[in-house]
Amino acid sequence: MADKPRENLFGLLTSDPNRVYVIAEAGVNHGGKKERALALVRAAKWAGADAVKFQTFRADRLASTQPAALAHTKDQPNLQELFKKLELPFDTFRALHKEAERLGIELLSTPFDKESADFLDELGVNAFKIASGDITHRPLIEHVAGKGKPVLLSTGMSAPEEIEKAIDWMHTRSNEQIVLLHCVSSYPAKPEELNLKSVEYLRDRFGVPVGFSDHSVGGLGSVVATSLGAQVIERHFMIETRGESPDQAISMDAKALKIHIEDLRRIGTLLGERGKFATEAESRNKTASRRALHARRPIAVGETIDADMLYALRPANGISPEFFESVVGKQALRPIQAGAPVQWESIQ
C-alpha cells in the first residue's frame, strides 16, 4: 500500500535542517529496458531511499552525431547513438510513476528538454533536477523553474558566477525553491577531486539547502558531505554491478546502497547538538569513573593532613581531587581509616 503523499521537498529540507534526503539515482542504468527500470524503482524502495531518479530525454534533442567526447563514453561511436539506446519512452515513465506511487517512493527525473519537462510536470513529479551540463542552458532552466516546483541544481564543472546566474534565472520565474548539489563531473571522481568543503561554501554563499551528487567510488564521500551539512545525497546505483552501463563505475549495487543509506540515516544522531555536556549515560558513570581523595594510612583525630597522607582513587565517593590543596593542612575531626574516602565533615 502506498504511503501518504510526501511533503514538498524544499519545505522538508528547510523545516528540518538535520534530515538527509537520499535520492537513488537510477540514471540510465536501465539500459533502455522498461522491466529493468521498474526493478530499479523496487530496489530503491527496498534500499530505503526517499526517491528514485531517472533521466528523461529525446536523444536527438540532447546530443549531435559527433563522436563522443566524455571520458567514460569514449568507446561509443557518437553521443546521439549512445543516448538513443538509453532513452525511455514517456509510456515507460508513466509505468514507473505508477509503480513508485504504489510503493510509496518519490519518482524524480532530470529533464533535458522542454517537452520532457512538460511531460514530467503533467505526470506529477514533485521536483525537478537540472544536470550539471545544463547549468548554462538558460531556456531550459527558466522553463523548468516556471513550473513552480523545487529545483535541484547540480553544479559540476561550474564556477560560482555561473551558479549565481542560474539562480537568478530561476528567480525571474518567481521560483526560490532551489537546492544546490555540489558535484564533481568525473566518472569516477577521485578522492582528491571531491573538495567536499564546497558543501559548506555553497550553503554559506547562496543561503539555500545544499546536497551532494556523489560520483565517487564507495560511500565515504557522501558520509563526509552529510557531516558537513549536505541535506540531499544523490547516489548512482544498479541492481547489481555486473553488466554494461556508462555509469557502472560510479554505481553501487542495491545491497551496498541499502547499507549506505542506513549509515547516512545515523549521521544526524551521531552529530548531535553543538555544545558540550554530559549525557544521561555519562552522568551514571561519573561516580565510578572519577576519583576522590582517599587516606593512604590511618589518620587520627586532631592530626594535620599533609600531601603524603592522600591519594586520588576511584570511585568519586568523597572529596574531589580538585580540592587537594584545600584539604592539605586541615585537621581530622574523626578517625579516617586507611583506604577510606575523605569527606568534608571529617575535616576542619
CATH architecture of 288-346: Alpha-Beta Complex (3.90)
pLDDT (tens digit, 9 = 90+) per residue, 195-243?
999 999 999 999 999 999 999 999 999 999 999 999 999 999 998 766 6
As a whole number of angstroms, the distance between CA 50 and CA 152 comes to 15
Domain positions in the chain:
9-271, 288-346
pLDDT (tens digit, 9 = 90+) per residue, 236-287?
999 876 666 777 888 999 999 999 999 999 999 999 989 999 999 999 999 9
For residues 107 and 100, the answer to whether their CB atoms sit within 8 Å is: yes
Q: Quote the pTM value.
A: 0.88
pLDDT (tens digit, 9 = 90+) per residue, 60-92?
888 888 766 555 555 656 788 888 888 999 999
CATH architecture of 9-271: Alpha-Beta Barrel (3.20)
Given this model, what pLDDT does residue 152 score? 99
Least confident of 68-82, 136-150, 274-288, 314-328: 68-82
| 2 has pLDDT over 50 | no
Q: Kindly report the number of other CB atoms within 10 A of residue 5's CB atom.
A: 11
Per-residue burial over 313-329, b if 16 or more Cβ lie within 10 Å, else e, is beebebbebeeeeebee
Write the CA distances from 256 to 37, 131, 211, 261, integer angstroms: 18, 25, 20, 9
Out of 6-15, 29-38, 254-263, the most confident range is: 254-263
For residues 210 and 203, the answer to whether their CB atoms sit within 8 Å is: yes
pLDDT band at 3 (very low <50, low <70, confident <90, very high): very low
Helix, strand and coil content of the chain, in percent to the nearest 5, comes to 40, 20, 40
As a whole number of angstroms, the distance between CA 26 and CA 29 comes to 6
pLDDT above 70 coverage of the chain, percent: 94
Q: Which of 17, 12, 54 is CA-nearest to residue 37?
A: 54
